Amino acid sequence: LGPTITAGEILVEIMSTSIGAGFMEPQSLIGPFPSGAPAIFIDQVARLGSPAGIISAVGEDDFGRLNIERLKRDGADVTAIEILPDMPTGSAFVRYREDGARDFVFNIAKSASGMIRMTENARTLIGRAGHVHVMGSAFAIPGIAEILMEAVAVVKSRGGSVSFDPNIRKELLAGQEDARRRLDQILAVTDLLLPSGEELAIAAGVDDEAEAVGKLLSSGVAEIVLKRGAKGSSCFVAGQHLDCPAFIVEEVDPTGAGDCFGATYVTCRRQGKSPEDALRYANAAGARTVTRRGPMEGVSSFAELDEFIHANRSDN
Protein backbone atom coordinates (compact mmCIF):
# COMPACT_ATOMS: atom_id res chain seq x y z
CA LEU A 1 0.00 0.00 0.00
CA GLY A 2 1.44 3.39 -0.99
CA PRO A 3 1.10 6.13 1.62
CA THR A 4 -2.10 8.07 2.30
CA ILE A 5 -1.38 11.71 1.48
CA THR A 6 -3.03 15.10 1.66
CA ALA A 7 -2.10 18.74 1.07
CA GLY A 8 -3.09 21.67 3.23
CA GLU A 9 -2.51 23.86 6.23
CA ILE A 10 -0.27 23.20 9.20
CA LEU A 11 -0.97 25.54 12.10
CA VAL A 12 -0.47 25.99 15.79
CA GLU A 13 -3.64 26.37 17.80
CA ILE A 14 -3.92 28.54 20.87
CA MET A 15 -7.16 28.28 22.79
CA SER A 16 -9.04 30.11 25.49
CA THR A 17 -9.31 28.19 28.76
CA SER A 18 -12.59 29.88 29.75
CA ILE A 19 -16.00 29.51 28.14
CA GLY A 20 -17.80 32.57 26.87
CA ALA A 21 -14.92 35.06 26.88
CA GLY A 22 -14.41 36.85 23.56
CA PHE A 23 -11.03 37.89 22.20
CA MET A 24 -11.80 41.55 22.93
CA GLU A 25 -10.76 41.02 26.55
CA PRO A 26 -7.63 39.56 28.19
CA GLN A 27 -8.00 35.92 29.20
CA SER A 28 -6.00 32.79 29.87
CA LEU A 29 -4.89 30.94 26.79
CA ILE A 30 -3.36 27.51 26.42
CA GLY A 31 -1.11 26.34 23.63
CA PRO A 32 0.60 26.24 21.19
CA PHE A 33 -0.74 22.86 20.05
CA PRO A 34 0.11 21.28 16.67
CA SER A 35 -2.92 21.69 14.39
CA GLY A 36 -4.47 22.20 10.96
CA ALA A 37 -7.15 19.74 9.82
CA PRO A 38 -4.95 18.12 7.12
CA ALA A 39 -2.07 17.73 9.60
CA ILE A 40 -4.35 16.18 12.24
CA PHE A 41 -5.66 13.73 9.65
CA ILE A 42 -2.19 12.66 8.50
CA ASP A 43 -0.88 12.40 12.07
CA GLN A 44 -3.78 10.09 12.96
CA VAL A 45 -3.12 7.84 9.93
CA ALA A 46 0.55 7.62 10.95
CA ARG A 47 -0.34 6.82 14.59
CA LEU A 48 -2.27 3.83 13.30
CA GLY A 49 1.00 2.55 11.83
CA SER A 50 0.03 3.26 8.23
CA PRO A 51 2.32 5.21 5.86
CA ALA A 52 1.18 8.85 5.61
CA GLY A 53 2.55 12.14 4.29
CA ILE A 54 1.52 15.76 3.89
CA ILE A 55 2.30 18.46 1.34
CA SER A 56 2.48 21.70 3.30
CA ALA A 57 4.70 24.55 4.49
CA VAL A 58 5.80 25.99 7.83
CA GLY A 59 8.01 28.88 8.87
CA GLU A 60 11.54 28.45 10.17
CA ASP A 61 10.36 28.99 13.73
CA ASP A 62 9.43 27.10 16.89
CA PHE A 63 5.77 26.74 15.81
CA GLY A 64 6.95 25.03 12.62
CA ARG A 65 9.41 22.82 14.51
CA LEU A 66 6.71 21.85 17.02
CA ASN A 67 4.52 20.55 14.18
CA ILE A 68 7.29 18.79 12.27
CA GLU A 69 8.57 17.08 15.42
CA ARG A 70 5.09 15.85 16.35
CA LEU A 71 4.39 14.52 12.85
CA LYS A 72 7.80 12.83 12.71
CA ARG A 73 7.40 11.35 16.19
CA ASP A 74 4.09 9.81 15.15
CA GLY A 75 5.67 8.36 12.01
CA ALA A 76 4.41 10.71 9.26
CA ASP A 77 6.50 11.54 6.19
CA VAL A 78 7.50 15.21 6.55
CA THR A 79 9.72 15.45 3.45
CA ALA A 80 7.09 17.41 1.48
CA ILE A 81 6.68 20.08 4.16
CA GLU A 82 8.58 23.08 2.87
CA ILE A 83 10.33 25.27 5.45
CA LEU A 84 10.01 28.92 4.41
CA PRO A 85 12.59 31.14 6.14
CA ASP A 86 10.74 34.41 5.62
CA MET A 87 7.22 33.39 6.63
CA PRO A 88 5.74 32.61 10.04
CA THR A 89 4.01 29.28 10.68
CA GLY A 90 0.22 29.63 10.44
CA SER A 91 -1.85 29.96 13.61
CA ALA A 92 -5.41 29.77 14.88
CA PHE A 93 -6.86 31.22 18.08
CA VAL A 94 -9.99 29.48 19.33
CA ARG A 95 -12.61 30.47 21.86
CA TYR A 96 -15.67 28.56 23.01
CA ARG A 97 -19.18 29.91 23.35
CA GLU A 98 -21.64 28.89 26.07
CA ASP A 99 -23.59 26.78 23.54
CA GLY A 100 -20.49 24.77 22.55
CA ALA A 101 -19.90 26.65 19.27
CA ARG A 102 -16.40 27.86 18.49
CA ASP A 103 -15.03 31.10 17.05
CA PHE A 104 -11.64 31.17 15.33
CA VAL A 105 -9.17 33.92 14.54
CA PHE A 106 -7.05 32.47 11.74
CA ASN A 107 -3.65 33.56 10.50
CA ILE A 108 -3.24 31.42 7.38
CA ALA A 109 -3.23 33.61 4.26
CA LYS A 110 -0.13 35.57 5.32
CA SER A 111 1.66 32.58 6.81
CA ALA A 112 3.73 29.72 5.38
CA SER A 113 0.50 27.71 5.03
CA GLY A 114 -0.80 30.33 2.60
CA MET A 115 2.20 29.66 0.33
CA ILE A 116 2.06 25.90 -0.15
CA ARG A 117 3.38 24.98 -3.61
CA MET A 118 4.25 21.96 -5.70
CA THR A 119 7.91 21.14 -4.98
CA GLU A 120 10.13 18.29 -6.15
CA ASN A 121 9.64 16.59 -2.78
CA ALA A 122 5.87 16.94 -3.13
CA ARG A 123 6.01 15.31 -6.58
CA THR A 124 8.11 12.47 -5.17
CA LEU A 125 5.57 11.87 -2.38
CA ILE A 126 2.68 11.92 -4.86
CA GLY A 127 4.62 9.48 -7.04
CA ARG A 128 4.64 6.92 -4.22
CA ALA A 129 1.13 7.54 -2.86
CA GLY A 130 -1.71 5.02 -2.92
CA HIS A 131 -4.51 7.21 -1.57
CA VAL A 132 -5.31 10.94 -1.59
CA HIS A 133 -7.50 12.49 1.10
CA VAL A 134 -8.95 15.86 0.06
CA MET A 135 -9.94 18.26 2.85
CA GLY A 136 -12.31 21.08 2.07
CA SER A 137 -10.66 23.33 4.65
CA ALA A 138 -7.50 23.49 2.53
CA PHE A 139 -9.27 25.16 -0.41
CA ALA A 140 -8.91 28.57 1.19
CA ILE A 141 -5.23 28.30 0.21
CA PRO A 142 -4.43 29.63 -3.28
CA GLY A 143 -3.17 26.92 -5.62
CA ILE A 144 -3.99 24.00 -3.32
CA ALA A 145 -6.83 22.78 -5.54
CA GLU A 146 -4.37 22.32 -8.42
CA ILE A 147 -1.91 20.39 -6.21
CA LEU A 148 -4.67 18.11 -4.90
CA MET A 149 -6.19 17.51 -8.34
CA GLU A 150 -2.77 16.66 -9.77
CA ALA A 151 -2.21 14.22 -6.89
CA VAL A 152 -5.66 12.70 -7.48
CA ALA A 153 -4.95 12.25 -11.23
CA VAL A 154 -1.56 10.59 -10.62
CA VAL A 155 -2.78 8.31 -7.85
CA LYS A 156 -6.00 7.33 -9.66
CA SER A 157 -4.09 6.54 -12.86
CA ARG A 158 -2.15 3.97 -10.84
CA GLY A 159 -5.30 2.40 -9.41
CA GLY A 160 -5.21 4.32 -6.10
CA SER A 161 -8.24 5.78 -4.30
CA VAL A 162 -9.59 9.14 -3.11
CA SER A 163 -11.49 10.22 -0.01
CA PHE A 164 -13.07 13.64 0.53
CA ASP A 165 -14.08 15.47 3.71
CA PRO A 166 -16.01 18.49 2.37
CA ASN A 167 -15.69 20.72 5.45
CA ILE A 168 -17.96 23.26 3.79
CA ARG A 169 -20.53 25.71 5.03
CA LYS A 170 -23.48 27.08 3.11
CA GLU A 171 -22.38 30.67 3.75
CA LEU A 172 -19.02 29.96 2.14
CA LEU A 173 -20.63 28.51 -0.98
CA ALA A 174 -23.36 31.12 -1.42
CA GLY A 175 -22.92 32.89 -4.73
CA GLN A 176 -19.57 31.23 -5.33
CA GLU A 177 -19.77 29.53 -8.70
CA ASP A 178 -16.12 28.50 -8.43
CA ALA A 179 -16.61 26.74 -5.12
CA ARG A 180 -19.60 24.77 -6.47
CA ARG A 181 -17.72 23.81 -9.62
CA ARG A 182 -14.73 22.64 -7.57
CA LEU A 183 -16.98 20.64 -5.28
CA ASP A 184 -18.53 18.85 -8.27
CA GLN A 185 -15.09 18.28 -9.78
CA ILE A 186 -13.88 16.53 -6.61
CA LEU A 187 -17.11 14.57 -6.11
CA ALA A 188 -16.62 13.16 -9.61
CA VAL A 189 -13.35 11.49 -8.50
CA THR A 190 -14.32 10.65 -4.91
CA ASP A 191 -14.48 6.97 -3.86
CA LEU A 192 -15.23 7.63 -0.19
CA LEU A 193 -17.14 10.72 1.01
CA LEU A 194 -17.07 11.73 4.69
CA PRO A 195 -19.58 14.56 5.28
CA SER A 196 -20.86 15.90 8.59
CA GLY A 197 -23.92 18.03 9.40
CA GLU A 198 -25.31 19.89 6.41
CA GLU A 199 -22.43 18.87 4.12
CA LEU A 200 -24.26 15.83 2.73
CA ALA A 201 -27.20 17.99 1.63
CA ILE A 202 -24.89 20.63 0.16
CA ALA A 203 -22.85 18.03 -1.74
CA ALA A 204 -25.95 16.31 -3.16
CA GLY A 205 -28.04 19.43 -3.65
CA VAL A 206 -31.05 17.80 -1.91
CA ASP A 207 -32.07 18.03 1.75
CA ASP A 208 -33.54 14.57 2.41
CA GLU A 209 -30.80 12.28 3.73
CA ALA A 210 -31.84 9.07 1.98
CA GLU A 211 -32.34 10.92 -1.28
CA ALA A 212 -28.99 12.68 -0.98
CA VAL A 213 -27.18 9.41 -0.26
CA GLY A 214 -28.92 7.68 -3.18
CA LYS A 215 -28.08 10.49 -5.56
CA LEU A 216 -24.37 10.52 -4.66
CA LEU A 217 -24.06 6.71 -4.73
CA SER A 218 -25.62 6.56 -8.17
CA SER A 219 -23.30 9.34 -9.39
CA GLY A 220 -20.29 7.09 -8.70
CA VAL A 221 -19.24 7.72 -5.07
CA ALA A 222 -18.75 4.13 -3.86
CA GLU A 223 -18.97 4.71 -0.11
CA ILE A 224 -20.51 7.42 2.10
CA VAL A 225 -19.84 7.80 5.81
CA LEU A 226 -21.92 10.30 7.77
CA LYS A 227 -20.38 11.84 10.89
CA ARG A 228 -23.11 12.57 13.42
CA GLY A 229 -21.16 14.02 16.37
CA ALA A 230 -22.43 12.66 19.72
CA LYS A 231 -24.94 10.55 17.76
CA GLY A 232 -22.20 8.41 16.16
CA SER A 233 -21.96 7.63 12.48
CA SER A 234 -23.50 5.77 9.54
CA CYS A 235 -22.09 4.10 6.47
CA PHE A 236 -23.60 3.39 3.07
CA VAL A 237 -21.66 0.99 0.86
CA ALA A 238 -22.38 -1.86 -1.55
CA GLY A 239 -26.13 -1.79 -0.83
CA GLN A 240 -25.55 -1.88 2.94
CA HIS A 241 -26.65 0.77 5.45
CA LEU A 242 -24.90 0.53 8.83
CA ASP A 243 -25.44 2.76 11.89
CA CYS A 244 -22.86 2.82 14.68
CA PRO A 245 -23.72 4.48 18.01
CA ALA A 246 -21.28 6.96 19.57
CA PHE A 247 -19.28 6.11 22.66
CA ILE A 248 -20.53 7.89 25.76
CA VAL A 249 -17.82 10.34 26.79
CA GLU A 250 -17.52 13.76 28.36
CA GLU A 251 -16.64 16.25 25.63
CA VAL A 252 -13.78 18.54 26.62
CA ASP A 253 -12.77 19.90 23.20
CA PRO A 254 -14.47 18.92 19.91
CA THR A 255 -11.62 20.12 17.68
CA GLY A 256 -10.08 17.33 15.62
CA ALA A 257 -12.82 14.72 16.13
CA GLY A 258 -13.89 14.68 12.49
CA ASP A 259 -10.29 14.56 11.26
CA CYS A 260 -9.30 11.66 13.55
CA PHE A 261 -12.56 9.86 12.72
CA GLY A 262 -11.93 10.24 8.98
CA ALA A 263 -8.27 9.19 9.20
CA THR A 264 -9.21 6.08 11.16
CA TYR A 265 -12.05 5.10 8.82
CA VAL A 266 -9.88 5.56 5.71
CA THR A 267 -6.97 3.62 7.25
CA CYS A 268 -9.16 0.72 8.41
CA ARG A 269 -10.74 0.39 4.98
CA ARG A 270 -7.37 0.63 3.21
CA GLN A 271 -6.17 -2.18 5.48
CA GLY A 272 -9.10 -4.33 4.37
CA LYS A 273 -11.24 -4.09 7.53
CA SER A 274 -15.03 -4.33 7.09
CA PRO A 275 -17.16 -1.14 7.06
CA GLU A 276 -18.58 -2.26 10.43
CA ASP A 277 -15.16 -2.58 12.10
CA ALA A 278 -13.96 0.63 10.43
CA LEU A 279 -16.98 2.55 11.80
CA ARG A 280 -16.43 1.24 15.34
CA TYR A 281 -12.73 2.16 15.29
CA ALA A 282 -13.51 5.57 13.76
CA ASN A 283 -16.19 6.28 16.38
CA ALA A 284 -13.69 5.38 19.09
CA ALA A 285 -11.05 7.66 17.52
CA GLY A 286 -13.52 10.59 17.33
CA ALA A 287 -14.78 10.05 20.87
CA ARG A 288 -11.27 9.73 22.31
CA THR A 289 -10.29 13.00 20.60
CA VAL A 290 -13.10 15.02 22.21
CA THR A 291 -12.01 13.93 25.70
CA ARG A 292 -8.67 15.74 25.31
CA ARG A 293 -7.89 19.39 25.05
CA GLY A 294 -5.92 20.24 21.91
CA PRO A 295 -6.65 19.23 18.31
CA MET A 296 -3.88 16.65 17.86
CA GLU A 297 -3.57 15.52 21.48
CA GLY A 298 -6.21 12.82 21.14
CA VAL A 299 -4.77 10.88 18.18
CA SER A 300 -4.83 7.14 18.82
CA SER A 301 -2.91 3.96 18.03
CA PHE A 302 -4.85 0.74 17.41
CA ALA A 303 -3.79 -0.48 20.88
CA GLU A 304 -5.27 2.68 22.43
CA LEU A 305 -8.47 2.30 20.39
CA ASP A 306 -8.86 -1.36 21.44
CA GLU A 307 -8.41 -0.36 25.05
CA PHE A 308 -10.89 2.51 24.66
CA ILE A 309 -13.50 0.25 23.02
CA HIS A 310 -13.25 -2.24 25.90
CA ALA A 311 -13.42 0.44 28.58
CA ASN A 312 -16.31 2.55 27.23
CA ARG A 313 -19.97 2.00 26.52
CA SER A 314 -21.65 3.14 23.34
CA ASP A 315 -25.03 4.78 23.18
CA ASN A 316 -27.50 2.11 22.00
Q: Any contact of residue 270 with ligand ADP (CB under 6 A)?
A: no
Alpha-carbon torsion angle 53, 287, 201, 274, nearest 10: 70
How many C-beta atoms lie closer than 10 Å to residue 105's C-beta? 11
For helices 177-187 and 144-157, angle between their N-to-C axes, nearest 10 degrees: 20
Binding mask 278-297 for ligand ADP (x = CB under 6 A): -----x--xx--x-------
Q: Which is nearer to ligand ADP, 189 or 244 (CB)?
A: 244
Which residue lies nearer to ligand ADP by CB, 63 or 164? Answer: 164
CB 158 to ligand ADP: min, Å? 29
- How does strand 81-84 pair with strand 52-59? parallel
* Nearest distance from C-beta of residue 226 to ligand ADP, angstroms: 8
According to DSSP, the residues that pair with 165 across neighbouring strands are: 135
User: Is residue 264 close enough to count as binding ligand ADP by CB under 6 A?
Assistant: no
Decide if residue 189 touches ligand ADP (CB under 6 A): no
Q: Report the residue number, 175 or 313, with the smaller CB distance to ligand ADP.
A: 313
φ/ψ of residue 164, rounded to 5: -145, 120
Candidates 18-26, 150-158, 182-190, 245-253; binding stretch for ligand ADP (CB under 6 A): 245-253
Region binding ligand ADP by CB under 6 A among candidate stretches 24-32, 235-243, 250-258, 298-306 = 250-258
CB of 94 to ligand ADP, least distance (A): 13
21: helix, strand or coil = coil
SS3 state at 33: strand
Distance CA(290)–CA(183), nearest Å, equals 28
Q: Looking at residues 194 to 223 of the shown chain, list those that interact with ligand ADP (rule: CB under 6 A).
A: 196
**Which residue in 198, 208, 243, 251 binds ligand ADP (CB under 6 A)?**
251
Shortest Å distance, C-beta 74 to ligand ADP: 19
By CB under 6 A, is residue 138 in contact with ligand ADP? no
* CA distance linking residue 173 with residue 64, whole number of Å: 31
- Beta strands 90-96 and 81-84 are unpaired
227 binding ligand ADP? (CB under 6 A): yes
For residue 179, state whether it binds ligand ADP (rule: CB under 6 A): no
Q: What is the DSSP code string of 173-240?
A: HTT-HHHHHHHHHHHTT-SEE--BTTHHHHHHT-SSHHHHHHHHHHTT--EEEEE-GGG-EEEEETTE
Binding residues (CB under 6 A) for ligand ADP: these are 196, 227-230, 232-233, 246-247, 249, 251, 254, 257-258, 261, 283, 286-287, 290
